[in-house]
C-alpha cells in the first residue's frame, strides 16, 4: 500500500481525554462495527471516525488482503496506523469471521505490536499505530497475541502511553467476551492487569482525566471477565468519585446479577443527572451522553433482573416507568418500555 501524501492524510481520531467510557453490553461492545465501541466520543469525533472509515475502508476493502496490510506494517512509512485501522475494520467484518480464527495473522500482528512496544518513540503516528494494533488484536477469538496485549495494558514510559494502555484494556475486554468458553475468567495475568489499571490513579501532579478514563476502561473489563475476583474488585468502585468508573462498575455487577449495583443504576436512570454529562462541552454532546447513560443503565437493569429474579427491583421499575413517560429520544423510551416489561415478568410481586 502506498503512503498517502501529507496533504491527503486524514488525521487519526484523537483520544478524548475527558471522555471515559460507559460501555454497552459485551455483545454490542465487541461485535458492532465502528470506532472502538467502548468510548464516549463527542459527536464531532464521531464525524471524524466516519470520515476515516470512508477514506480508509472504502478504497482498500475490495483489493487489499490482511496479509498485504501486515506486510505494509513492516515497511518504512508514517501512515502505518492507517493500515492497522484497516486491519481492525476487516477483523470486525461479520463476513470475515474466519480472520478472527487466523492464528498466523494474530501472531504477525502481535509481533508488529511487540516491535512498537520495544521502540522508544512516542510521536503521534507511533502512538496511533500501537492503539490500532491493540484494537485489531482485540478482535481475535483465539489465544494468540494475548501476552503482548497484557504487556501493552501495563507498559507506561510516558504520559502518551496511557492511550495505548486504554486500547489494550479495551482489546482484553473484547477478547474476554469473544472467548468461548470464557477462558479469560481464569487467566491470572489478565485479571492482574485489569485490577492494577482499576487502582491506578497516577501521579498527583498529572492530569487526572486520562487516568480516570483508563480506570473506567478497566472497570468495564472486570465486568466482562466476571470472575469472582473481578466482581469483588468492582464493588468498591461503586463509590468511586468518577461517574464513569461508578457506572461501569454498576453495569458489570448488574450483568452478573448483583443487586449491589442498584443504587448506582438509579443514579444513571435519573431524569436529571448533571454529573453524568458534566465533562461534555456542547449541548449536543451532553444530550448524546445522557441518552447513552440511560440506555446502558436500562440494559444493565434488564440483565440484573434476568440473572437474579429474586432481586428487589421495584425502585428500578419506578425509574424506568418515569423514562417511558418523559419527553426523551425515542430509543431511550423504547428501551425503557422493554426494561419495564422485563421487570414485570421477572421480578417478584
Question: For residue 52, is pLDDT > 70?
Answer: no
Q: Mean pLDDT for the chain?
A: 83
153-157: Cβ within 8 A, 24+ apart? 153/193, 153/194, 153/197, 154/193, 154/196, 155/117, 157/120, 157/122
Which numeric CATH code is attached to 8-225?
Answer: 1.25.10
122-135 pLDDT, tens per residue?
A: 989 899 999 999 99
pLDDT of residue 76: 58
Contact 238, 261 (CB under 8 A): yes
Question: For residue 183, is pLDDT > 50?
Answer: yes
pLDDT level of residue 136 (50, 70, 90 thresholds): very high
Residue tagged 512516542 (cell numbers): 122
Question: For residue 83, is pLDDT > 70?
Answer: yes
DSSP 36-47: -TT----HHHHH
Question: For residue 234, is pLDDT > 90?
Answer: yes
pTM for this one?
0.81
Peptide linkage before 181 cis (omega within 30 of 0): yes
Question: For residue 24, is pLDDT > 80?
Answer: no
Residue tagged 449541548 (cell numbers): 283
Question: For residue 180, is pLDDT > 80?
Answer: no
pLDDT of residue 90: 87
Task: Average the pLDDT over each of 51-60, 170-179, 328-337 and give the range with the smallest value.
Answer: 51-60
Question: For residue 293, is pLDDT > 50?
Answer: yes
Question: For residue 16, is pLDDT > 80?
Answer: no
As a whole number, mean pLDDT of residues 140-157 equals 95
pLDDT of residue 86: 85
Which H, E and C letters describe 51-110, residue by residue?
HHHHHHHHHHCCCCCHHHHHHHHCCCCCCHHHHHHHHHHHHHCHHHHHHHHCHHHHHHHH
Share of the chain above pLDDT 90, in %: 59
pLDDT level of residue 206 (50, 70, 90 thresholds): confident
Dist CA 189 CA 117 (whole Å): 18
Question: For residue 108, is pLDDT > 60?
Answer: yes
Task: Average the pLDDT over each of 24-38, 70-84, 202-216, 228-242 and give the range with the smallest value.
Answer: 24-38
As a whole number, mean pLDDT of residues 238-254 equals 97
As a whole number, mean pLDDT of residues 47-57 equals 47
pLDDT level of residue 151 (50, 70, 90 thresholds): very high
pLDDT of residue 59: 46
Question: For residue 12, is pLDDT > 60?
Answer: no
pLDDT of residue 79: 65
| Domain spans of the chain, in order of start | 8-225, 242-349
Dist CA 288 CA 293 (whole Å): 9
Amino acid at each position: 500500500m502506498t503512503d498517502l501524501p501529507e496533504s491527503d492524510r486524514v488525521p487519526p481520531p484523537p483520544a478524548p481525554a475527558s471522555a471515559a467510557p460507559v460501555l454497552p453490553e459485551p455483545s454490542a461492545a465487541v461485535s458492532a462495527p465502528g470506532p472502538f465501541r467502548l468510548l464516549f466520543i463527542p459527536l464531532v469525533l464521531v464525524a471524524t471516525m466516519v470520515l476515516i472509515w470512508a477514506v480508509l475502508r472504502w478504497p482498500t476493502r475490495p483489493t487489499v488482503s490482511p496479509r498485504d496490510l501486515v506486510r505494509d506494517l513492516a515497511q518504512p512509512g508514517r501512515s502505518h496506523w492507517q493500515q492497522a485501522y484497516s486491519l481492525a475494520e476487516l477483523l470486525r467484518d461479520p463476513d470475515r469471521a474466519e480472520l478472527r480464527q487466523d492464528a498466523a495473522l494474530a501472531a504477525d500482528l502481535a509481533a508488529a505490536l511487540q516491535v512498537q512496544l520495544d521502540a522508544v518513540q512516542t510521536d503521534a503516528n507511533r502512538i496511533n499505530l500501537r492503539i490500532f494494533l491493540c484494537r485489531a488484536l482485540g478482535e481475535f477469538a483465539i489465544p494468540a497475541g494475548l501476552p503482548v496485549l497484557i504487556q501493552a495494558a501495563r507498559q507506561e514510559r510516558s504520559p502518551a502511553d496511557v492511550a495505548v494502555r486504554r486500547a489494550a484494556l479495551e482489546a482484553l475486554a473484547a477478547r474476554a467476551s469473544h472467548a468461548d468458553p470464557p477462558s479469560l475468567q481464569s487467566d491470572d495475568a489478565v485479571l492482574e492487569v485489569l485490577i492494577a489499571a482499576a487502582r491506578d490513579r497516577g501521579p498527583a501532579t498529572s492530569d487526572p482525566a486520562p487516568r480516570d478514563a483508563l480506570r473506567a476502561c478497566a472497570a468495564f473489563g472486570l465486568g466482562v471477565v466476571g470472575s469472582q475476583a473481578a466482581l469483588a474488585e468492582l464493588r468498591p468502585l461503586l463509590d468511586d468519585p468518577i461517574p464513569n468508573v461508578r457506572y461501569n462498575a454498576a453495569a458489570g455487577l448488574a450483568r452478573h446479577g448483583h443487586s449491589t449495583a442498584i443504587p448506582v443504576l438509579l443514579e444513571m436512570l435519573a431524569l436529571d443527572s448533571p454529573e453524568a454529562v458534566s465533562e461534555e462541552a456542547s449541548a449536543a454532546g451532553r444530550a448524546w451522553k445522557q441518552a447513552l447513560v440511560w440506555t446502558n443503565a436500562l440494559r444493565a437493569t434488564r440483565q440484573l433482573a434476568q440473572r437474579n429474579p429474586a432481586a428487589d427491583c421495584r425502585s428500578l421499575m419506578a425509574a424506568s416507568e418515569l423514562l417511558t413517560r418523559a419527553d426523551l429520544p425515542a430509543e431511550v423510551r423504547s428501551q425503557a418500555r422493554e426494561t419495564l416489561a422485563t421487570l414485570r415478568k421477572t421480578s417478584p410481586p
